A and B are shown apart, each in its own frame.
Chain A
Amino acid sequence: MNLRRVWVQCIKELVEFRRDRLTVALAFVLPLGMLLIFGLAIRLQIKNIPVAVQDFDRSPFSRDFVSRLGATGELVVVPEPLGPSPTAILDAGDVRAVIVIPPGTQRALAAGRPAPIQSLVDATDVVNALTIKQILTAACAFAGAAYGPPAAPPTVVMHVRIWFNPGGNEALFIVPGVYAVILAMYPTILAAIAMVRDKERGTIVQAYASRLRASELIAGKCLALECIGLAEALAIMAIGFAVWGVRFAGDPLPLLIGTPLLVCCQVLLGLFIGARTNTVTSAIQAAGSINSLLSVLLSGFMYPVFAMPAFFQWLSFVIPTRHFINITRDAFVRGAGWPGVWTEVLALACIAAVLAVAAWLPLRRMQMTD
């Protein structure tokens, strides 16, 4: 490999990028905009779910019970007229559950007779449904002890402590994940376009005709896009610090090594896609939709990988974002450093190596395909 030719290819790529002012602006403004929207708007924590209560009992107990339901902020209680049937209320779609407190519940409780609280829960959203169930169960246990016969003292008292993010600040969970998603998306697309555009315009023939080797072509393009990707990484991490105060929790070295590796993986993936497709449209489809959906959804950005079926857990091992997300979350939230994440850094390096070969194979002859 001739380093000078690599360098020239890299400069050519950067010049081409810089000449397109709008693309330069987009390549930096879009990630920042995305970071802001994701960081400010995405909330997985369930909050303010509307539930309707039909209170037929109208007793101190029922009022206490209803205020208990809304106490955690997860549910918002909407008083409902007693006329319509629960099914009709749920079908109208304005609330996620209908809770019915039958008449005489307080008296039944005081006498120690069973007093069921009926509820119809919209299970379309399963997480919602289970959360509502948890809150109902807890409220019943609480109100039952207050208004019913005294319960026996508990055998076990559990003290739950949540580490690293005791306030449950969701930005701390979301923002480091968004870093990974953004870096999975934009460098890949830019790389795919950089590769396939030459083909579509026919200028790749000149590269084929020159003494440039496939490895040099790839290395040059990769170097140029690596610079762009790292600049993007720097920009979004600076914003993350400025807006949400996301800062290093421990040893920053794994992140400093992991970030260039991830960008390298994504750029090589983009070059590979560009090398395998013939038109910008199809390269974009592949790089944009498939890659971004998979790296958003199979990386553990939103839902934990360990909750997926075994096959997908295996599949997720080849997705670079999955490893990088563990690195960013460790660097910014947990702070364990190398012992926790050395495997992830290693995995990224392996994926990069495989992708480099994959991108090189279709180009190795440096010939037109028929």
Chain B
Amino acid sequence: MLLRKEFIQILGNRQVLYILLFPPIVQVTILGYAMNPLVKHLVFAVVDESKSPASRQLIDAFTANGVFIPQGGGDTAAGVYAAVQSGKVDAGLVIPADYAQAVARGAPGDVQLVFDGVNSFIANLGAGYANLIVQAYNARGEPAAPLSPQITFAYNPGLVTAWFFVPGLLGAILLITGLLASASGSVREKDEGTLEQLLMTPASSLEVLLAKIGPLFVLFLIALLASLAVSRVLFGLPFRGDAFLFMGISSIYIVAGISIGILISTFASTQQQVVLISIFTALPLMMLSGAFAPIESMPPFWQTLSLINPLRHYITIVRDILLKGAGIGVIWPDVLALTAFAVLAIWISAARYRSQLR
């Protein structure tokens, strides 16, 4: 009965339906393409005061693989510095006038690379690339160094960044939309005064809550499957693990997200408050989950804190199942944490649900 009421309420509003189903799919598409932490197309200005075959060879080495794109530069080192200073280019390479003579003498030729360090992350990655380029340039013509790394990339041999981001995005989007939709949906009952009627029915709080979770749960499961299908087509995202295991765990996760939303709604009394709290909850959950940057790099305190983040566990599980084909034997600690979280969230919100009428 209650379940039917909730279904009718959600399906009756086209706009809500659109807004719940569309964003996950569109966002996965856009962000799967757009999120690219790899340093490519660094625009750099070159000044070649040496103007010699040797210096042109070095510039070619820099621009050969598309990481550094030469742009402008001018004739003086000062011009390059000014371009970096104003943020027009990301880096500047200065080859001094005596470069060719030094190389001809057999002495090392000094060149200078200036990086715009406003984005320290990019500057460091870029400097690393530049060092590799110079290292390779110095080694050309020499017999291969005896000590060499033989690197095999496991799970994602093509180094497709979307494979890393899509699981994170799926989790984050499900959490944010789930949280907002359930929180604002159930606080509206309070706003409109229908909460009293709901609580007067013989149904227990748990039954009321489960009925609330039902329709959203179905919608989000559909959204999840659709986004997965889209990322499979667009990015070739593999699905190496057990589909049933995946669906089971995703269900637990979706329930957890929706119940956090309902829990939030028991604390708030207006739509405005509920949204502010939801966004405030969702964003740190998203940023401290390992969706975008590895957990290991965070300060230790935050690493420990992230253990209570359901998104962190879900993302680990999704990556393990989709990319590594891992079974329950590897992921059980995360599954356990996620389940505990979902049960706890439902339990607390059921306990609070009735007491919110005062």
Contacts and interface: CB of A to CB of B under 8 A. Distances in A.
B355 interface: no
Contact of B164 (A93, A126, A285): A126
Contact of A40 (B119, B120, B137, B299): B299
Contacts of A223: none
Contacts of A144: 145-148
Interface of A: 20, 22-23, 26-27, 30, 33-34, 37-38, 40-50, 87, 90-93, 105, 108-109, 112-131, 133-134, 136-138, 140-141, 143-144, 147-149, 151-166, 168-170, 172-173, 185-186, 189-190, 193, 197, 277-282, 284-286, 288-290, 292-294, 297-298, 302-304, 306-309, 311-312, 315, 326, 329-330, 333-334, 336, 339-341
Nearest to A166: B117
A145 to B, nearest CB: 8
A164 B91 CA distance: 12
7 interchain residue pairs of minimum CB distance: A144-B147, A123-B153, A123-B156, A162-B117, A165-B117, A26-B276, A312-B34
Given A117-B149, A307-B39, A336-B85, 12 more contacts: A41-B288, A41-B302, A42-B287, A44-B297, A45-B120, A91-B326, A126-B156, A134-B132, A154-B138, A156-B138, A162-B115, A308-B33
Contact of A38 (B159, B270, B287): B287
A334 B119 CA distance: 10
15 contacts: A26-B276, A42-B293, A121-B152, A121-B154, A126-B164, A127-B37, A129-B159, A137-B132, A155-B138, A160-B115, A163-B117, A168-B120, A304-B39, A307-B41, A308-B36
A37 B88 CA distance: 31
Contact of A92 (B123, B150, B330): B330
Contact of A140 (B31, B145, B283): B145
A114 B85 CA distance: 45
A307 B23 contact: no
A338 to B, nearest CB: 10
Given A93-B326, A285-B16, A312 B85 contact: no
B294 interface: yes
Contacts of A197: 271-272
Contacts of A277: 15
Given A41-B302, A285-B16, A330-B87, A185 B279 contact: yes
